[in-house]
Amino acid sequence: MTGAVLTLNSGSSSLKFALFAADSTRTAPELLGKIEGIGRAPAFVAKDAMGRRLPPGTLADLAPGITHEALILRLLPWLDQWLGARAVLAVGHRVVHGGSRFRQPIRMTDAILTELDTLSPLAPLHQPHNLAAIRAIAAWRAEIPQIACFDTGFHATQDPLATRFALPRALHDEGVLRYGFHGLSYEHIANVLPTHLGELAEGRVIAAHLGNGASLCAMRGRKSVATSMGFTALDGLMMGRRCGALDPGVVLYLMQARGMDADQIERLLYHDSGLFGVSGISNSVQVLLDSPHPHAREAVDLYCHKAAGVLAGLIPAIGGLDALVFTAGIGENAAPVRQAICDRLAWLGVALDAQANAANATDIGAPQSTVRVLVLPANEEAVVADACRALLA
């Protein structure tokens, strides 16, 4: 089977893409790239398997107002040119929300696309863009199979009790429940854990996906038992621009005392809160770590304080903690954040090797730590590519 598998992750302000050989099981892509700053100043970057930057060609100068769909239609001929005689055999998409029905990767149809559209209010930052990418590919080459892989799917193994809110049963029955997200990232971590932990991989593990969006997943037997995100991707940890867990009374106050409508509250909770809101400076941890402003320090301290607290709250669900795994942009690269979180977990026996942590090593636990502490790169693209290969096979 010659040709390639294309993976797309279309987010609110970025488009990530990768090409994998269709006839291989390798998790490393042949090409990896992204377009960031969509809606402001789009910037394209792509690298081959050797890490060499590739010329942008027609993607060099992108208009500030260009849409996700238009970007995809510009990207596809560029990928075609890079592939040469080889063809794209399948396209896999990260789709944030699968609701209660879609748990496994599935080949897209018009009917499924319509059903997934109804879930957009539950993931307004991502779902519309995820589905727009599917439509753009269909307009390009309708004959190419497209596979949707769901961020909510990994958490389908949770006990039904873990998915319930203490709300009237009728609301639960119509789908108001805890779904959990970042499932493709956690699935990759679950897949590679045995390589790093051996038999301990089947034990009590918490993975921390810390990026601009952030969540935690408690696993046992490499299956999701509990997670910090719930009905939407707002819940749980403090994030780059999202508030995380919030007393629902605050929302009532904003409506009743401040006269804010749903759109204003959505803007506040999804865009103007988190690291950005607390600091008033940036949603970037690195920018805040480099800043001398006390508000920057407070934002990072609050981020670590909340992360440690939420993490500790997940431990009863798995009966203890054998290993902690950091992944995603902040988790992989922000050593001071990892240190601050783990310092708050010292009562659990967590201890870091300062030198290994500063070097972003894979195994950063100190010899005396009773909990293994790892840093593993996120690779959602490999999970999506594997789903496409399975369909092609």
CATH number, domain with residue 248: 3.30.420.40
Q: Please indicate, yes or no, whether residues 297 and 234 belong to a single structural domain of this protein.
A: yes
Distance separating alpha carbons of residues 154 and 392, to the nearest angstrom: 22
Number of structural domains in the chain: 2
Residue 61 in any domain: the answer is yes
Select from 289, 259, 294 the least CA-distant residue to 278.
294
Amino acid at 392: L
DSSP summary character for residue 52: P
- Choose between 103 and 40: higher pLDDT: 103
Distance separating alpha carbons of residues 127 and 125, to the nearest angstrom: 7
Q: Could you tell me the residue range of the domain that residue 286 belongs to?
A: 196-375
Model confidence pLDDT, tens digit, residues 287-314: 999 999 999 999 999 999 999 999 999 9
Residue 107 in any domain: the answer is yes
Residue 162 in any domain: the answer is no
Q: Please indicate, yes or no, whether residues 123 and 247 belong to a single structural domain of this protein.
A: no
Average pLDDT over residues 163-192: 95
Distance separating alpha carbons of residues 30 and 28, to the nearest angstrom: 7
Q: What is the mean pLDDT of the chain?
A: 93
Select from 15, 361, 42, 64 the least CA-distant residue to 32.
15
Residue 245 in any domain: the answer is yes
Residue 189 in any domain: the answer is no
Confidence of residue 122 (pLDDT cuts 50, 70, 90): confident
Active site annotation includes 363: no
Model confidence pLDDT, tens digit, residues 3-34: 899 999 988 778 899 999 988 777 789 999 99
Confidence of residue 251 (pLDDT cuts 50, 70, 90): very high
Q: Please indicate, yes or no, whether residues 119 and 222 belong to a single structural domain of this protein.
A: no
Identify the pLDDT of residue 179: 95
User: 40, exposed or middle or buried, with CB in 10 Å at 0-12, 13-18, 19+?
Assistant: exposed
Residue 168 in any domain: the answer is no
Q: Please indicate, yes or no, whether residues 143 and 228 belong to a single structural domain of this protein.
A: no
Q: Please indicate, yes or no, whether residues 225 and 358 belong to a single structural domain of this protein.
A: yes
- Do the Cβ atoms of 274 and 243 come closer than 8 Å? yes
Residue 80 in any domain: the answer is yes
**For a pLDDT cut of 70, what percent of the chain falls above it?**
100
Distance separating alpha carbons of residues 101 and 78, to the nearest angstrom: 36
Q: Please indicate, yes or no, whether residues 146 and 41 belong to a single structural domain of this protein.
A: yes
| pTM summary value | 0.92
Confidence of residue 1 (pLDDT cuts 50, 70, 90): low
User: Percent helix, strand and coil across the chain, each rounded to 5?
Assistant: 45, 20, 40
Q: Please indicate, yes or no, whether residues 34 and 114 belong to a single structural domain of this protein.
A: yes
Q: Please indicate, yes or no, whether residues 143 and 201 belong to a single structural domain of this protein.
A: no
Domain boundary among the residues 112, 132, 150 is at 150
Q: Please indicate, yes or no, whether residues 233 and 354 belong to a single structural domain of this protein.
A: yes
Q: Please indicate, yes or no, whether residues 227 and 283 belong to a single structural domain of this protein.
A: yes
Q: Which member of 61, 110, 151, 386 is catalytic?
A: 151
CA distances from 330 to 143, 292, 393 (A): 39, 19, 36
Q: Please indicate, yes or no, whether residues 142 and 261 belong to a single structural domain of this protein.
A: no
Q: Please indicate, yes or no, whether residues 207 and 125 belong to a single structural domain of this protein.
A: no
Model confidence pLDDT, tens digit, residues 88-101: 999 999 999 998 88
Residue 384 in any domain: the answer is no
Residue carrying structure tokens 């199979």: 145
**For a pLDDT cut of 90, what percent of the chain falls above it?**
79
